[in-house]
């Protein structure tokens, strides 16, 4: 088996399994730890407060919108593009359809995927420059913060280059862009459970626990 076949086959499965199993384990560990440390929260469980906090944070109904509207909107758009493009891009769906699962779902138009990719990359660049330029944010940033922005952006950048043949004329890049795209996507999947990227799962647990505590104390959500 050559390296390309390994990346396209076994490594892809390793990445998906690491992402799924690792994320489930992180969620289970978070729940187990909070259950031991914060028993009182679960004794006052309130679905009303949990759903209310999800609505306020998943949609632009929280105080951050009024405090920093531009940045908040950019964060929302960034995450929307991050979720929608990989899942609903036609080329990715075609790969699932051709796989042993034969799964298929309706794709978004390729032109929309292109625009969402470019918007995503522009926002990622803004986030990176913001950490570099802003002294306050730079002080709180670690190497991991910069690295993860690059890791998340690279599959989108390489995917755009791959679909448009942007760097086909540049020797080693053009010849290996598909490999770069697969490796960068697999790296992101593998890193999710072990880095700050895991917030996509832990968010629901931490916000839910906070909502229950607020409800117990009588605060308005």
Q: Is 165 left (phi over 0), alpha (psi -120 to 50) or beta?
A: left
In order of their start, the domains of the chain are: 3-217 (1.20.950)
> Are the beta carbons of 188 and 16 closer than 8 angstroms?
no
For residue range 110-127, what is the model confidence (pLDDT) as tens digits?
999 999 999 999 999 999
SS3 156: helix
Q: How confident is the model at residue 99 (pLDDT cuts 50, 70, 90)?
A: confident
Sign of the Cα pseudo-torsion (194, 198, 201, 202, in order)? positive
For residue range 172-213, what is the model confidence (pLDDT) as tens digits?
777 789 999 999 999 999 999 999 999 888 887 777 777 776
Q: How confident is the model at residue 137 (pLDDT cuts 50, 70, 90)?
A: very high
Sign of the Cα pseudo-torsion (129, 133, 139, 140, in order)? negative
Residue with tokens 């679960």: 42
Instruction: State which H helix or E strand residue 150 sits in.
Output: helix 143-164
Instruction: Kindly report the pTM of this predicted structure.
Output: 0.87
């Amino acid at each position: 088996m050559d390296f390309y076949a390994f990346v396209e086959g076994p490594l892809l499965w390793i990445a998906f399994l690491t992402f799924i199993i690792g994320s489930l384990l992180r969620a289970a560990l978070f729940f187990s730890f909070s259950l031991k440390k914060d028993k009182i929260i679960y004794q006052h469980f309130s679905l009303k407060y949990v759903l209310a906090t999800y609505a306020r944070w998943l949609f632009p109904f929280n105080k951050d919108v009024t405090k920093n509207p531009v940045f908040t909107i950019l964060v929302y758009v960034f995450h929307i593009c991050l979720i929608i493009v990989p899942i609903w891009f036609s080329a990715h769906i075609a790969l699932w359809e051709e796989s042993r699962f034969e799964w298929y779902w309706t794709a978004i138009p390729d032109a929309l995927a292109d625009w969402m990719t470019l918007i995503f990359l522009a926002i990622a660049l803004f986030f990176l420059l913001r950490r570099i330029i802003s002294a306050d944010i730079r002080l709180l940033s670690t190497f991991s913060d910069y690295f993860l922005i690059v890791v998340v952006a690279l599959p989108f950048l390489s995917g755009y280059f791959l679909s448009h043949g942007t760097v086909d004329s540049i020797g080693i890049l053009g010849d290996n862009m598909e490999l770069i795209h697969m490796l960068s996507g697999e790296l992101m999947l593998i890193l999710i459970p072990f880095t700050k990227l895991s917030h996509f799962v832990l968010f629901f647990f931490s916000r839910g626990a906070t909502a229950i505590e607020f409800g117990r104390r009588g605060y308005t959500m």
